[in-house]
Amino acid sequence: MYLIELQELVKSYGTVKALNGLSLKVPNGCLYGLLGPNGSGKTTTLRILCTLLAPDAGQVKVAGLDVVKDPRSVRRQLGYVAQEVAIDKILTGLELLQLQGDLYHLPSNERDIRIAELIERLDMKAWITRRCGSYSGGMRRRLDLASGLLHQPKLLVLDEPTVGLDIESRSAIWQLLFELKSQGTTILLSSHYLEEVEALADQMAIIDEGRVIAQGAPDDLKKQLGGDRVTLRVREFSDENESEQVRKLLANVDGVRQVVVNRAQGFSLNLVVDDENVLPRLREELDRSKLQVFALSHSRPSLDDVYLQATGRTLMDAELSASGNRDVKLESKQAMR
Amino acid sequence: MTSSDYVAFDYSDKKKGGADLRQETFALTRRLFIQLVRRPSTLVAGVLQPLIWLVLFGALFSKAPDSLLPGGISYGRFLGAGVIVFTAFSGALNAGLPVMFDREFGFLNRLLVAPLSSRSSIIFASVIYITSISLLQSIAIMGTAFFLGYGWPGFAGLLLVLLTLLLLVFAVTALSLGLAFALPGHIELIAVIFVVNLPLLFASTALAPISYMPAWLGWLAAVNPLTFAIEPIRAAYGGTLDLGLVILHAPYGDVTGYGCLSILIALSLGLFLLISPLLNRKLA
């Protein structure tokens, strides 16, 4: 049973195509991660899901309800924590939560009990009666989470929930998300942090240029890629010639699938090997040629490797080129009604 | 929180619609009033500005010849009605600003993600807020005018004054809210407010009677909505509460008190009908 079903979503802003036939399904009770660089269409997807934006084409269903045809029923099912926290600086956190409760039509006694629970759970007691204008980023984020959770939604949608937060706030939020999941809440979050998706998500989709280019459980995606990763240096500062020689030497070792000289990292060698049993053979081969091992690290494929395989570039590269193309003014315009 | 009490609230009761609308409208209105109490400068400025008008303009023309004004009343007395209407009008013209800021800061999105029983509650809250503020400011001006010796309309007159202001405030609030959704940002909205505000004051009977104006300006004043609010109030201040009497001698003919109020009612309804497709589209 899927709680969210998105089919062939298309959305353009003027000539810019934000979504280009995006489809994905989120099972009930799942913590689902959307991974992609800035500008890949994550926020647009979430905004469509939350009834803030109508798609140009495609189908969106939440809990079997059509988001375009029956937006009000959908709104009751979901809590949305936006990337840009919109709070009223003049109100106190408590007043904001009360307002939120009234907008979801909670009876006032239930509303107040629920608010008290969340103040306790998110550790907001010390500052909740202060005006929101004085809150730090972490406090605002916690307040926003509380207001998204106030009506106990079936589905919690979070857009980059920990971007710009300190480590402590981040781990507090991760902890809360795990708890919510164990209580049966379905969670959809977007992130451009690999480690966040890796640590949190049961299922994930990689989004690039408005389409899903890979989806599944993070471990499965990594396994599908196959092979282990090895990074090797024979000296602290090798030159290109030396690295090239070593590359040729190791390329013939049994179990080595691929060797690349990484120019960006001081001519270190990046290898894809069958498994860790190849490592002793690498050392033997180097010994035979009187070469030392300055550094050697071995790892399973990471999500970054998955991303690299699917798009031909690393997430960081995509992130850098996206940030150059970003038009912040245009984006805030798109978010305005 | 245990998993057993982690159940969504029951929303199945359809009869709750009216109560839901009340709850959300009240909550949204409460927010606007909390803002006002914690940031009262706009309220203070809104009272101060017309007071300065009243004192300075009243003094400026205090030696105006008796023939200038109909019935030979003092200029201060004449001006009072104009300043009261101007106060309510400027207040209502600003109604769209908080909504525009909510759009710009994304707070509106927070409201739009919530399952509001009707998004009209966002509009209702603004109308309730602006109406209360405008009436409050007007009463403050009326009190000051009384102490300056410019008269007091009496109880029945006061009701007529408030009714007239209410109609004008509804109309102008509709206009301002429409602009708040039609214009791209608060800079543009403020620009429109600046451009509209003073010319509408000058091209009305707030500062001088039509008989004193050149013909073309008289025509403008005679179709200016402010005039239709000023004249019944001026009549009430003059002790005339019979709405059947002619209170405005316009170039196109005489207008009674009922005529003025009918025009204001038509204007309010017309503007709300005009902006509702826009609001429906923006808030859909």
Strand partners, A149: none
Q: Tell me, yes or no, if A106 comes closer than 8 A to chain B by beta carbon.
A: yes
Of the candidates B24, B38, B105, the beta carbon closest to that of A103 is on B24
Q: Between chains, do A51 and B39 touch, taking CB under 8 Å as contact?
A: no
Q: In the structure, what pLDDT confidence band is assigned to residue A158 with cuts at 50, 70 and 90?
A: very high
- What are the structural domain ranges in chain B? 20-282
In this prediction, residue B8 carries a pLDDT of 43
Q: Is residue B62 a contact partner of residue B74, using CB atoms and an 8 Å limit?
A: yes
Torsions phi, psi for A64 (to 5 deg): 80, -5
Residue A11: is its pLDDT beyond 90? Answer: yes
Report, as an integer, the average pLDDT of A255-271.
82
A256, two tokens = 């080595």
Beta-strand runs (E) in A82-136? none
H/E element, B58: helix B58-60
Show residues of chain B in contact with A76, CB under 8 Å.
Answer: 8, 11, 115
Report the alpha-carbon distance of residue B197 to residue B190 in Å, rounded: 10
Q: Is residue B174 a contact partner of residue B268, using CB atoms and an 8 Å limit?
A: yes
Q: Is residue A24 a contact partner of residue A205, using CB atoms and an 8 Å limit?
A: yes
Q: How far off is chain A from B271, nearest CA to CA, in Å? A: 21
In this prediction, residue A47 carries a pLDDT of 93
Report the alpha-carbon distance of residue A156 to residue B263 in Å, rounded: 51
Show residues of chain A in contact with B283, CB under 8 Å.
Answer: 337
Show residues of chain A in contact with B111, CB under 8 Å.
Answer: 103
How many CB atoms lie under 10 A from the CB of residue A290? 6
Q: Tell me, yes or no, if A271 comes closer than 8 A to chain B by beta carbon.
A: no
Beta-strand runs (E) in B27-112? none
Q: Where in chain A is the domain with CATH 3.40.50.300?
A: 2-222+314-335
Based on the number of CB atoms within 10 Å of its own CB, is B81 exposed (0-12), middle (13-18) or buried (19 or more)? buried
In this prediction, residue B6 carries a pLDDT of 36
* A106 Cβ neighbours under 8 A, 6+ residues apart: A114, A150, A151, B9
Nearest CA in chain B to A114: B1
Q: Between chains, do B26 and A90 touch, taking CB under 8 Å as contact?
A: no
Q: Between chains, do A102 and B107 touch, taking CB under 8 Å as contact?
A: no
Torsions phi, psi for A77 (to 5 deg): -85, -20
H/E element, A158: strand A155-159
In this prediction, residue B5 carries a pLDDT of 37
Nearest CA in chain B to A110: B9
DSSP B245-259: SEEEEETTEEEEHHH
* A88 Cβ neighbours under 8 A, 6+ residues apart: A96, A132, B31, B35, B107
* B154 Cβ neighbours under 8 A, 6+ residues apart: B239
In this prediction, residue B15 carries a pLDDT of 54
Q: Is residue B88 a contact partner of residue B169, using CB atoms and an 8 Å limit?
A: yes
Name the packing angle between helices B75-93 and B225-237 (round to 10°).
140
Q: Could you report the per-residue pLDDT of A162-175, keeping only the tens digit for each?
A: 888 888 888 889 99
Q: Tell me, yes or no, if A123 comes closer than 8 A to chain B by beta carbon.
A: no
Q: Where in chain A is the domain with CATH 3.30.70.100?
A: 227-300
Look up tokens 């009209």; give the residue. Answer: B120
What's the CATH number for A227-300?
3.30.70.100
Q: Taking the CA of residue A283 as centre, how many other CA atoms within 13 Å lie in the half-sphere pointing to its CB? A: 11
Q: Could you report the per-residue pLDDT of A207-242, keeping only the tens digit for each?
A: 988 999 889 998 888 887 778 888 888 888 888 888
Between β-strands A31-35 and A203-208, what pairing exists: parallel, antiparallel or unpaired? parallel
Mean pLDDT by runs of 10 across the 284 residues of chain B is 39 66 96 94 88 87 78 83 92 92 90 90 92 90 88 90 94 94 94 93 93 94 96 90 90 94 96 88 76
Buried b / exposed e over A97-135, threshold 16 CB at 10 Å, is bbbbbbbbbbeeeebeebbeebbeebebeebbeebbeeb
Q: Could you report the per-residue pLDDT of A106-134, keeping only the tens digit for each?
A: 999 999 999 999 999 999 999 999 999 99
Report the alpha-carbon distance of residue A193 to residue B26 in Å, rounded: 41
Q: In the structure, what pLDDT confidence band is assigned to residue A328 with cuts at 50, 70 and 90?
A: low
Buried b / exposed e over A167-185, threshold 16 CB at 10 Å, is eebbebbeebbeebbeeeb
Look up tokens 């005006």; give the residue. Answer: A131
Q: Could you report the per-residue pLDDT of A32-78, keeping only the tens digit for each?
A: 999 988 888 999 999 999 999 999 999 999 999 999 999 999 999 99
In this prediction, residue B35 carries a pLDDT of 94
Q: Between chains, do A154 and B117 touch, taking CB under 8 Å as contact?
A: no
In this prediction, residue A324 carries a pLDDT of 66
What's the CATH number for A2-222+314-335?
3.40.50.300
Q: In the structure, what pLDDT confidence band is assigned to residue A151 with cuts at 50, 70 and 90?
A: very high
Q: Bigger pLDDT: B224 or A329?
A: B224
Nearest to A31 by CA among A198, A234, A148: A198
In this prediction, residue A21 carries a pLDDT of 94
In this prediction, residue B1 carries a pLDDT of 37
Give CA separation, B255 vs A215, A305, B83, B261, in Å: 73, 81, 21, 10
Q: Between chains, do A103 and B7 touch, taking CB under 8 Å as contact?
A: no
In this prediction, residue A239 carries a pLDDT of 84
Nearest to A153 by CA among B113, B24, B20, B21: B113
Show residues of chain B in contact with A51, CB under 8 Å.
Answer: 112-113
Report, as an integer, the average pLDDT of A18-22.
93
Q: Is residue B126 a contact partner of residue B108, using CB atoms and an 8 Å limit?
A: no
